[in-house]
Amino acid sequence: MDDVETRLMAEHILGDFLSRQRKSESSILPEAKIARLKEAAARFTDDNPFKVGDVVTIRQDAPMKGEGEPHLVIESGSTNLGTAVPDEGNWTDGGIRNVRVLMLKDDLIMPYVLPHWALEHYQG
């Protein structure tokens, strides 16, 4: 992926994340926020459960688009597979992107590198 594609993808992801944040911030009680954070912390610290060939999708509460869409795992590990250097303070700065997937966007095959905690098995 070249710099322009990476930048466009990052802007798209961030815009969607901010949009979701604005919609949900005031509707979640503090107790529910704490419970969700604890659940997310467990996913974040668990070993990567995905293997090559798994069909996954983006979790609804992940800060990226693609939820409900099938993604095929083509590489999976415990180390960072991403090549881009995230901006300090960006959500990507806090995690390891350790699952490489392919997805279809319109008629285009798009590769992405994502953190395992943001994925779940696809239930199509």
Give pLDDT tens digits for 3-48: 667 766 767 677 777 666 655 556 788 999 999 899 988 988 889 9
Higher pLDDT, 64 or 9: 64
- Domain count across the chain: 1
CATH of residue 99's domain is 2.30.30
pTM of the model: 0.68
How many residues in the chain? 124
Higher pLDDT, 95 or 119: 119
| Residue span of the structural domain in which 79 resides | 3-121
Give the C-alpha distances (Å, rounded to integers) separating 117 from 2, 53, 87, 110: 25, 18, 20, 20
Q: What is the mean pLDDT of residues 80-101?
A: 68
**pLDDT of 51 strictly over 90:** yes
CA distance from start to end of the chain: 28
